[in-house]
Every structure is written in structure tokens, then in C-alpha cells.
């Protein structure tokens, strides 16, 4: 009599390890949908909705990684999926929003400016994925793609609310789009805020400042959000200038 074959185990830990975790990828899919929605709205001429969709994608993109770390559901698939979602939401969508709103009035220069931004976002994401193990976690190398998208989409949002047409602001939009793209692929360092511990106690002033920030954003969200990212975009240049000045300054005499 031949011996029976052992039954296969109902639970295989290898399959779980190779599986796709649903919770963090739901946030990534939602961010991807917002980027796609922004493109559709821009094509239909609803530029305010498109800009808001880009900002919503930023919030969702910030949540998926944190949810994955909190629930211990990090995976290589999730990292690659998140990068592809970022390319759509923060690379393609802002470039097309700016092009449909203002840059198409510049002809060939307009689509070249949009392509510079789009290509810079792709290069920025590729460099970030390949330098994860060698860079300082406290700083980003180049302007992060969500912040660059906020500059481009936020400018469109503010101008639309202020009743400025894309034709009137086409040259300013072109300059912001190109500058945001080139800053993404630069070596300028930007603070990443990754060393902030949310479990650590903070002074009362920090809580009051946070409440004031929420009040300002709720009162005038487009100007408040755009101003925040303008300040963040300039902070890298300020830090770089301070570093250059320190290198050039002579050492103090002993």
C-alpha cells in the first residue's frame, strides 16, 4: 500500500508575504484616481476642481506610507505602485493642468515647458527610488514632486479665484512650471520632516500655532496652501545660500 501524500497546509506564510496588502494600496489607488480626475477636469475647463484634486492626492499620498508602517503592511509592490501613482498625480496631472489653463497659448514653448516639468518629475522619482539607502533621511534631494505639484496647481487655483485668465498669466505660469521642474532635479536640499516624532510632547505654542494654521487654511484655502508651498520651495534655496556663505566665511582666529 502506497503511503498517503501529506495534505497541503491551509495557511502558507510565503503566500502572505508575496501578497498585496489592501489597506495602504487603497490610499494609493485613491491618490491615483485624484490625479486622473484632475486631468479630466482640466480637459473640460474646470481648473479649480483639477487643482483641488491634486491637493487631495497629496493628502492621500502622505497617508498611504504611514498606514503601511503603522499596520506593518509595507511591500515592494506598494512602493512601486506608489511611485507610479505619484508620476500621474504629481507629474502628468499638474503639467496638463498648467498647459490647458495657460501654456497652450504660448504654442511650442508652452508644451515644452509642460514637458520639462513632466520629465523632471519622472527623473526626480527615479532618483529618489534608487537613492533610498544612501541619502540622509532628514532631507530630500531636490524639491519633492508633491510640493512641486502644489506650486503649479496652487498657482492655477489662486489665479482662477482671483479672476485672472490663463492668457494673462501665461508667462508667469510658464516660469513657475519650468522652475518647479528644474528644482525637482536639482541637488538643493529640502527638509523632509521625517525626524519629527508625533508621540513626543510639544510646547503649548506649537499646538496654538497649529490651530491658527487650520483657521487660516479654512478661511482662504487656496492662498494659504499656495503660500505654504511657496515658502517651502524657497526654503531650499535659503538653506543652500546659507551653506555657501558658511563655506566662504573664514574660520575664526584662535
The DSSP letter of residue 54 is H
Say what the pLDDT of residue 75 is: 80
pLDDT at 9 over 50: no
Q: How many CB atoms lie within 10 A of CB 166?
A: 19
CATH superfamily for 19-195+217-248 is CDP-alcohol phosphotransferase transmembrane (TM) domain (1.20.120.1760)
pLDDT at 193 over 60: yes
Say what the pLDDT of residue 6 is: 47
Domain boundaries, the chain: 19-195+217-248
Report the chain's mean pLDDT, rounded to a whole number: 84
Give the SS3 label for residue 139.
Answer: strand
Give the SS3 label for residue 141.
Answer: strand
Q: Which tens digit of pLDDT belongs to each residue from 161-181?
A: 999 998 999 999 999 999 999
CA dihedral 105, 110, 114, 116 (to 10 degrees): -170
What distances in angstroms separate CA 147 from CA 119, 204, 221, 233, one per listed residue?
Answer: 16, 28, 16, 7
For range 220-243, the mean pLDDT: 88
Distance CA 90, CA 71 (A): 26
Say what the pLDDT of residue 209 is: 75
* For the chain, percent of residues with pLDDT exceeding 90: 48
For range 76-92, the mean pLDDT: 90
pLDDT at 98 over 50: yes
Q: How many CB atoms lie within 10 A of CB 161?
A: 14
Say what the pLDDT of residue 204 is: 66
Task: Report CA 26 to chain centroid distance, whole Å.
Answer: 18
Element (H, E) at 190: strand 189-191
Element (H, E) at 74: none
Say what the pLDDT of residue 79 is: 83
Say what the pLDDT of residue 241 is: 86
Q: Judging by DSSP bridges, how do beta strands 139-141 and 189-191 pair with one another?
A: antiparallel
Query: When comparing pLDDT for 38 and 208, which is higher?
Result: 38
Amino acid at each position: 500500500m502506497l503511503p498517503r501524500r501529506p495534505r497541503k497546509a491551509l495557511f502558507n506564510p510565503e503566500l502572505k508575504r508575496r501578497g498585496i496588502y489592501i489597506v495602504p494600496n487603497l490610499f494609493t489607488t485613491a491618490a491615483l484616481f485624484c490625479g486622473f480626475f484632475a486631468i479630466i477636469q482640466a480637459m473640460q475647463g474646470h481648473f479649480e476642481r483639477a487643482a483641488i484634486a491634486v491637493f487631495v492626492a497629496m493628502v492621500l499620498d502622505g497617508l498611504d506610507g504611514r498606514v503601511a508602517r503603522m499596520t506593518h503592511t509595507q511591500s515592494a509592490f506598494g512602493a512601486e505602485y506608489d511611485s507610479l501613482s505619484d508620476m500621474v498625480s504629481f507629474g502628468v496631472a499638474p503639467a496638463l493642468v498648467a498647459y490647458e489653463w495657460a501654456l497652450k497659448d504660448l504654442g511650442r514653448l508652452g508644451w515644452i515647458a509642460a514637458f520639462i516639468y513632466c520629465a523632471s518629475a519622472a527623473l526626480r522619482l527615479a532618483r529618489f527610488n534608487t537613492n533610498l539607502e544612501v541619502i540622509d533621511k532628514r532631507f530630500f534631494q531636490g524639491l519633492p514632486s508633491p510640493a512641486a505639484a502644489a506650486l503649479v496647481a496652487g498657482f492655477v487655483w489662486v489665479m482662477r479665484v482671483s479672476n485672472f485668465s490663463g492668457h494673462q498669466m501665461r508667462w508667469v505660469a510658464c516660469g513657475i512650471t519650468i522652475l518647479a521642474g528644474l528644482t525637482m532635479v536639482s541637488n538643493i536640499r529640502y527638509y523632509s520632516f521625517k525626524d519629527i516624532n508625533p508621540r513626543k510632547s510639544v510646547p503649548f505654542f506649537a499646538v496654538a500655532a497649529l490651530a491658527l494654521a487650520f483657521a487660516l487654511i479654512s478661511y482662504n484655502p487656496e492662498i494659504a496652501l499656495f503660500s505654504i508651498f511657496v515658502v517651502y520651495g524657497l526654503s531650499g534655496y535659503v538653506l543652500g545660500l546659507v551653506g555657501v556663505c558658511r563655506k566662504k566665511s573664514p574660520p575664526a582666529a584662535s
